[in-house]
């Protein structure tokens, strides 16, 4: 389905990004992995994806909070693959604290990685997509692009920003075969969610089990975590030719959370 295409998935060494990279490789796309992690484990992942799916898998560890690193990654991708066809802006971090106690450095990092990085990747990916008259930009936003939760000011601000960026760019490139959509997962069981449980417990004065039941799953009428495979399947659909008329959407996959 995606053979001959090249996909960059930011933050694909873990969680949702990894599942999307795996799904796209399975569909025949060459993959550029990005994200932090143990070098040997990343090398093993790269080799496994390439061997299992018969595609080229490249890794670039650009820190998405650094515009120069993002630019250098695109130079490398241009030289190796002649640009990218599918861009998945997925890298993200979280921090949970009351706004008047929110560490300034955490605010800056969340805005840089969860929002500004998408501006840089989009501006660098678009010229090649315009030339080819085909492109797919998929933002991994969040239910927090649509609704807020207390103590997540930076994250909610960044994800609402992603929703606005998605719609704006979708309008700018609508006539050029390029679609831009945001996927808004509810709670997905990944390291990002696991790590915020102790912080949320502290901010809300709860036990960690109470956080899982009364905060996380309480938000989702299905009372189930969304799975990384479900998010990857939706990303795969957005990448397909069947989704050519879907653009500028901010699409929940949240077990009914934002239907409240
Ligand atoms: P995760 O922690 O499992 O993975 C995050 C990935 O981003 C990792 O590969 C990590 O190395 C990478 N990353 C972090 N900082 C980076 C940086 N500065 N430069 C490059 N890479 C960096 O998290 P996840 O849950 O898979 O989250 C992925 C995306 O999905 C995020 O944007 C997150 O906001 C979003 N999301 C997650 C959930 C959830 O419940 N897990 C829900 C909604 C949205």
Residue 207: inside a domain, yes or no? no
Predicted local distance difference test score (pLDDT) of residue 1: 86
The number of the ligand 1 atom at minimal distance from the alpha carbon of 159 is 34
Predicted local distance difference test score (pLDDT) of residue 167: 99
Residue 200: inside a domain, yes or no? no
CA of 192 to the centre of ligand 1 (A): 6
Residue 202: inside a domain, yes or no? no
Flag whether pLDDT at 138 surpasses 90: yes
The number of the ligand 1 atom at minimal distance from the alpha carbon of 19 is 26
The number of the ligand 1 atom at minimal distance from the alpha carbon of 112 is 18
Distance (Å) of CA 46 to CA 33, 41, 64, 124: 8, 9, 20, 24
Residue 197: inside a domain, yes or no? no
The number of the ligand 1 atom at minimal distance from the alpha carbon of 225 is 40
The pLDDT tens digits of the residues spanning 177-216 come to: 999 999 999 999 998 889 889 989 999 999 999 999 898 8
Share of the chain above pLDDT 90, in %: 94
Instruction: Specify whether 187 is catalytic.
Output: no
> What domain range is 175 assigned to?
6-186+227-259
Flag whether pLDDT at 136 surpasses 90: yes
CA of 83 to the centre of ligand 1 (A): 23
Residue 172: inside a domain, yes or no? yes
The pLDDT tens digits of the residues spanning 36-85 come to: 999 999 999 999 999 999 999 999 999 999 999 999 999 999 999 999 99
CA of 224 to the centre of ligand 1 (A): 20
Predicted local distance difference test score (pLDDT) of residue 178: 98
CA of 131 to the centre of ligand 1 (A): 30
**Length of the chain (residues):** 260
| CATH code: domain of residue 175 | 3.40.50.720
Flag whether pLDDT at 165 surpasses 90: yes
Domain total for the chain? 1
Residue 244: inside a domain, yes or no? yes
Residue nearest ligand 1's atom 23 by CA: 192
Q: Average of pLDDT values for 105-130?
A: 98
Residue 217: inside a domain, yes or no? no
Predicted local distance difference test score (pLDDT) of residue 192: 84
Mean pLDDT for all residues in the chain: 97
Classify strands 57-59 and 178-185 as parallel, antiparallel or unpaired. Answer: unpaired
What residues are in contact with ligand 1 under a 6 Å CB criterion? 11-17, 34-37, 63-65, 90-93, 113-114, 140, 142, 185, 187-188, 190-193
Flag whether pLDDT at 249 surpasses 90: yes
Given the residues 59, 155, 187, 237, select the one marked as catalytic. Answer: 155
Q: Which two tokens stand for residue 238?
A: 């957005």
Q: Average of pLDDT values for 90-108?
A: 97
Predicted local distance difference test score (pLDDT) of residue 55: 98
Task: Give the chain as a 3 state SS string.
Answer: CCCCCEEEECCCCCHHHHHHHHHHHHCCCEEEECCCCCHHHHHHHHHHHHHHHCCCEEECCCCCCCHHHHHHHHHHHHHHHCCCCEEEECCCCCCCCCHHHCCHHHHHHHHHHHHHHHHHHHHHHHHHHHHHCCEEEEEECCHHHCCCCCCCHHHHHHHHHHHHHHHHHHHHHHHHCEEEEEEEECCECCHHHHHHHHHHHHHHCCCHHHHHHHHHHHHCCCCCCECHHHHHHHHHHHHCHHHCCCCCCEEEECCCHHHC
Per the confidence metrics, is the pTM higher than 0.75? yes
Q: Which of 39, 190, 257 to mutate to test the pocket of ligand 1 (most atoms within 8 A of CB)?
A: 190
Residue 205: inside a domain, yes or no? no
Q: Is 151 exposed, middle or buried (0-12, 13-18, 19+ CB in 10 A)?
A: buried
């Amino acid at each position: 389905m995606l053979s001959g295409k090249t996909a960059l998935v930011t933050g694909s060494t873990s969680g949702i990004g990894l599942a999307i990279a795996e799904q796209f490789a399975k569909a025949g796309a060459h993959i550029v992995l990005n994200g932090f992690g143990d070098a040997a484990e990343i090398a093993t992942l790269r080799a496994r994806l390439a061997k299992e799916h018969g595609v080229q898998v490249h890794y670039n560890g650009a820190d998405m909070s650094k515009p120069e690193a993002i630019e250098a990654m695109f130079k490398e991708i241009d030289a190796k693959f002649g640009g990218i066809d599918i861009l998945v802006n997925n890298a993200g971090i979280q921090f949970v604290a009351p706004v008047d106690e929110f560490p300034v450095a955490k605010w800056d990092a969340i805005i840089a990685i969860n929002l500004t990085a998408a501006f840089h990747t989009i501006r660098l990916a678009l010229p090649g997509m315009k030339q080819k008259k085909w492109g797919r930009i998929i933002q991994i936003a969040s239910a927090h692009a649509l609704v807020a939760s207390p103590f997540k000011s930076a994250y909610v601000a960044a994800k609402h920003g992603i929703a606005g960026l998605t719609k704006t760019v979708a309008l700018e490139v609508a006539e050029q075969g390029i679609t831009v959509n945001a996927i808004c997962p509810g709670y997905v069981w990944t390291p990002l969610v696991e790590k915020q449980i102790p912080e949320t417990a502290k901010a809300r004065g709860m036990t960690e089990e109470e956080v899982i039941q009364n905060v996380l799953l309480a938000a989702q009428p299905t009372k189930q975590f969304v799975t990384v495979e479900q998010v990857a399947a939706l990303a795969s659909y957005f990448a397909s030719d069947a989704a050519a008329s879907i653009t500028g959407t901010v699409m929940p996959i949240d077990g009914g959370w934002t239907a409240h």
